[in-house]
């Protein structure tokens, strides 16, 4: 499914995942695709796509966000989900076969899998960096996505430690 968005005079095509990227680019529905560099490296190496640049964000690749209503009504379920995610991340980071899993699931070269694995940080606890949140707010304010920065303590729930 392709949905279109118009933001700041730039036309975006939502292609959803890697499986949607190649046909979208080949059919000229989109001209640029933002994704993680190691899981796309095989496609770059075989000339299916070309890497034109990298954009290092001041935030984590993935965040889990919940409304105040959800935190109030579904706190136990949210905590259970977070515990399961943290447990799985910790298992992956400490498993003897983590590199093999990357090679098997992402068609990576061994050197690329090693580089990706050892350069990626995984959150395995209920902690969020206050400095990271400040950097995110600064970046979003600079490009006009938020009107002002707020106290980072207002952005995290009490089940999360701000460090």
Q: Checking DSSP bridges between strand 127-128 and strand 10-14, what pairing results, if any?
A: unpaired
Q: How far apart are CA 124 and CA 84, in angstroms?
A: 10
Q: How far apart are CA 151 and CA 23, in angstroms?
A: 43
> For the whole prediction, is pTM greater than 0.75?
no
Q: How far apart are CA 118 and CA 137, in angstroms?
A: 27
- Tell me: the pLDDT tens digits for 85-96? 999 999 999 999
Q: What percentage of the chain has pLDDT greater than the value 70?
A: 93
- Tell me: the pLDDT tens digits for 38-62? 888 888 888 888 888 887 777 777 7
Question: Which tokens hold the place of 42?
Answer: 């095989």
Domain boundaries, the chain: 126-163
Tell me what the mean pLDDT of segment 129-158 comes to. Answer: 89
């Amino acid at each position: 499914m392709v949905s279109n968005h118009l933001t700041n005079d730039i036309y975006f095509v939502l292609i959803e995942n890697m499986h949607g990227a190649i046909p979208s680019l080949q059919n000229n529905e989109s001209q640029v695709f933002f994704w993680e560099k190691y899981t796309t490296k095989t496609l770059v190496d075989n000339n299916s796509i070309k890497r034109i640049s990298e954009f290092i964000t001041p935030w984590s690749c993935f965040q889990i966000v919940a409304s105040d209503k959800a935190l109030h009504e579904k706190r136990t379920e949210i905590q259970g989900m977070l515990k399961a995610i943290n447990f799985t991340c910790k298992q992956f980071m400490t498993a003897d076969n983590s590199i093999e899993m990357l090679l098997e699931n992402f068609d990576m070269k061994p050197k690329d899998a090693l580089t990706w694995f050892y350069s990626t940080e995984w959150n395995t606890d209920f902690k969020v960096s206050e400095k990271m949140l400040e950097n995110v707010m600064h970046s979003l304010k600079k490009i006009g996505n938020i009107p002002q920065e707020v106290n980072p303590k207002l952005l995290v729930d009490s089940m999360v430690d701000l460090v």
